[in-house]
Chains A and B, each alone.
Chain A
Amino acid sequence: MGGRLKIVLLLAPALAVIGVLFAGGLVIAFVQSLGYVPAIGMTELTLDAYRGILSDEDFFDSLVLTLYVSGVSTGVSTVLAVLAALALRRSSGRLSAVVFQLPITIPHLVAAVGIALVVGQTGLGARLAALLGLIGEPGDFPALLYDERSVGIILTYVWKEVPFITLVMLAALRGVASDLEDVARTLGAGAWQRFWYVVFPVISPSVVAASLLVFAFTFGAFEVPYLLGKSYPTILPVMAYDEYRGIDLAARPTAMAINILIALVTGAIAALYLRLARDLGRRRG
């Protein structure tokens, strides 16, 4: 059929790029995670790498850290975004768009450097604290970089992702939610009733979807923790990278196994997100 052939031909270039460079790469990564790396003479298929990491305390420390960083970043970002969106829903749309687009557009590395210069022990925060007489020297200021609680990483993520979730929420709030709120008003719903029975249920799928995206991203992101994180434990993508870049080539399957686990987790979140997005689309349609 001509029509079907046309679709296939139109899709072919994009699918080829993604199929070869992304899916192909994932397949190779998976095969290597099973211990098959002929380039270094490993040709036996085993689950050793997975067994290895699952019994490795370092891996679990990393996993916990990763879940902690992405969980807290997502949670804090979502809460702040909800508050910001509710506070800003009646302000100028154009102005808030500019203010919020900026952090979304700025690369993570720039954000990380900027945040580091604010919260570091000789940063702007510490200088202010010294001015107020709260601390005497840099060492008195709490260590927020390369630290146990990954505060610098989380702050960078929050700075970057709050605007994203807020914009998604504002779009939902200013769109149909505000019309529905008017309907609810004429039907006798008070402010709290309107929020609880109408606004909240209507916008929450968009918020959940946006939060899922943020979680998936922070779970698999590399550079901010690589720059601002401490050396042990590291988050999973950094751990995978270190294993991959290490001198011991036999560690490759381990690196790949970690990668595959990250891909599985984020892939599952992606599927969940798409389901939500589709339901949202249906509802509107």
Chain B
Amino acid sequence: MSARLELENVSHRYGNDAPALEKLSLAVEPGELVALLGPSGCGKTTALKVVAGLLRPTAGDVRVDGRSVVGTPPERREAAMVFQKPLLFPHMGVTENVGFGLRMRGARKEEAGRKADEALRRVRMEGFAGRSPGELSGGQQQRVALARALVTEPRLLLLDEPFSALDANLREEMRDLVLRLQREGGHTTVFVTHDQEEAVVLADRIALIFDGRLQMYDCPEAFYDRPATREVARFFGATNFIDGRANDGSVRTPLGDLRLEGTAPPGEVTLTIRPEAVRLEGGENSFRARVSSTSYLGTQVHYELRAAGTTLRAALPPHVRLAVGDEVTARLPATSLWVLDRRF
């Protein structure tokens, strides 16, 4: 049932405004869960609405299983969407809401009701079949909305920040639910979020979008280990950037010559390393540094290290106790150094 989704050079602009989406291309494999991630206003919801058919792209093509759907109205795309707000139909009960999509496809009332009850069980709302939407909490309403989308066995499941209106622990619970349902049902799913953590937890692959442009499309780990640009690295919490000049397998920097694992094209480059990867030990790529600030975070301690005019952040386990002013030897393991193109 689940389909392969392709976007090819999809652009969209509202009226005469700056384009909300600029030549977005990506493919989602059958059964895959892809997160469209980005700050608010970056065009990710626009992209989702283009896939749903609620917006028509100003350029480019959207294909489902290889066939273009640009001319297909939303009601014939079998792309069920869950919105930020639950948007349950207020004049229908919970069961009628969930059965709506089936009834629209001509299912009989009893059959729709039976399948709706089944779907409600899957989202653990079986006790609420007879209620009206107004009697449910926000989280319960969103579960019903999820059931309402799933019951139609859509070829694409589109989720537009469905948990952003819920509070933190409820959000986590809903995440687990979505993950379980998606694994069970194998729906090709596109999930819009501005929450980097949510994207990492849920997604098989993340498409990071800034200003309507795709920045990077890869599995979650890649965003930490191999960010494409400085902006991507920053968005994922990287703070250590070291400028230098590459020469074969090493880079000349203010901290000394740092050896890389592979090779870098010669020229100006920026190195990045995650705070967790910084070691306090001697050896290759090590240098003397002074602790300039500390902050205790419970499970970790963050230290700011200054050396040769450069500031690095190191995240260390809490049992390592350093004070401001301490002299330490820090090492940047070659396996954890990642080369960014200096242009960014």
Per-position binary interface string of chain A over residues 273-285, scored 1 when its CB falls under 8 Å from any chain B CB and 0 otherwise: 0000000001111
Given A179, A187, A285, which contacts B100 in the complex, CB threshold below 8 Å?
A: A187
Flag whether A198 is at the interface (Cβ < 8 A). Answer: yes
A228-285: which have CB < 8 Å to B? 282-285
With both chains docked as a complex, state the minimum distance between the C-beta of A110 and any C-beta of chain B, in angstroms. Answer: 38
B85 in the interface (beta carbon within 8 A): yes
Q: Main SS of chain A's interface residues?
A: helix
Complexed CA–CA distance, A197 and B75 (Å): 14
Q: How far is the CA of A202 from the CA of B75 in the complex (A)?
A: 20
| Chain B residue at smallest Cβ distance from A186 | B81
Contacts of A189 in B (CB 8 A): 75, 100-101, 104
Complex Cα–Cα for A284 and B148 (A): 20
B91 interface residue, CB < 8 Å from A?
yes
Residues of B in contact (CB 8 Å), total 28
From B85, B105, B134, A188 is in contact (CB under 8 Å) with: B105
Q: How far is the CA of A202 from the CA of B90 in the complex (A)?
A: 7
B152: chain A residues within 8 A (beta carbon): 187-188
- Decide if B224 is an interface residue (CB 8 Å cutoff): no
B76 at the interface (CB under 8 A from A): yes
B87 x A180 contact (CB < 8 A): yes
Min CB distance A48 to B, Å, is 49
- Would you call B104 and A183 a contact (CB within 8 A)? no
B123 within 8 A of A: no
Contacts of A183 in B (CB 8 A): 81, 83, 87, 89
Q: In chain A between 177 and 205, which residues have their CB closer than 8 angstroms to a CB of chain B?
A: 179-180, 182-190, 193, 197-198, 201-202
Taking CB atoms, residues of chain B closer than 8 Å to A198 are 89
**CB-nearest residue of chain A to B151:** A187
User: Of A179, A187, A201, which contacts B148 at CB under 8 A?
Assistant: A187
In the complex, the chain A residue whose C-beta lies closest to that of B132 is: A283
Q: Give chain A residues whose Cβ lies under 8 Å from the Cβ of B54.
A: 182, 185-186
Q: Judge if B53 is at the interface, Cβ distance under 8 Å.
A: yes
Closest beta carbon of chain B to A90's beta carbon, Å: 13
B158 near A186 with CB under 8 A, answer yes
Count of chain A to chain B residue pairs whose CB atoms are closer than 8 Å in the complex: 73
- Per-residue contact bits, chain B 49-90, to A (CB 8 Å; 1 contact, 0 not): 000111000000000000000000111111111010101011
Q: Decide: A190 and B87 in contact? CB cutoff 8 A.
A: no
A193 touches B104 (CB 8 A): yes
Q: Which residue of A lies closest to B85 (CB)?
A: A179
- The interface residues of chain A lying within 8 Å CB-to-CB of B77 are 186
Q: Mark B132-166, 1 if CB is under 8 A from A, else 0.
A: 00100000000000001100100000100000000
Q: A186-B79, A188-B75 are in contact. Are A285 and B90 (CB under 8 A)?
A: no
Query: Which residue of chain A has its CB nearest to the CB of B52?
Result: A186
Q: CB distance A190 to B104 under 8 Å?
A: yes
How far does the Cβ of A234 sit from chain B's closest Cβ, in whole Å?
42
How far, in angstroms, from A282 to B54 measured CA to CA in the complex? 29
Residues of A contacting B90 in the complex (Cβ-Cβ under 8 angstroms): 176, 202, 283-284
Closest to A201 in B: B91
Cβ-defined contact, A187 with B149, below 8 A: yes
A179 and B74 form a contact (CB under 8 A):
no
How far is B152's CA from A176's CA once the two chains are assembled, in angstroms? 23
Q: Which residues of B, 273-287, contact A by the 8 Å Cβ criterion?
A: none
**Nearest CB in chain A: distance from B106 CB, A:** 10
Minimum Cβ distance to chain A for residue B151 (Å): 9
* Known A-B contacts A193-B104, A283-B134, A285-B134; A188 and B76 likewise in contact (beta carbons under 8 Å): yes
Given contacts A183-B81, A187-B101, A189-B104, 18 further A-B contacts (CB under 8 A): A176-B90, A179-B87, A182-B81, A183-B83, A183-B87, A184-B104, A186-B53, A186-B75, A187-B104, A188-B76, A188-B78, A188-B104, A201-B89, A201-B91, A202-B91, A282-B134, A283-B91, A283-B134
Q: List 21 A-B contacts (CB under 8 A).
A: A179-B83, A179-B87, A182-B83, A183-B81, A183-B87, A184-B89, A184-B100, A184-B104, A185-B52, A185-B74, A186-B52, A186-B53, A187-B100, A187-B149, A188-B101, A188-B105, A189-B100, A190-B75, A193-B104, A197-B103, A284-B90
Chain B residues near A (Cβ < 8 Å): 52-54, 73-81, 83, 85, 87, 89-91, 100-101, 103-105, 134, 148-149, 152, 158
A-B CB proximity, top 5 nearest: A187-B101, A186-B81, A185-B74, A201-B91, A189-B104
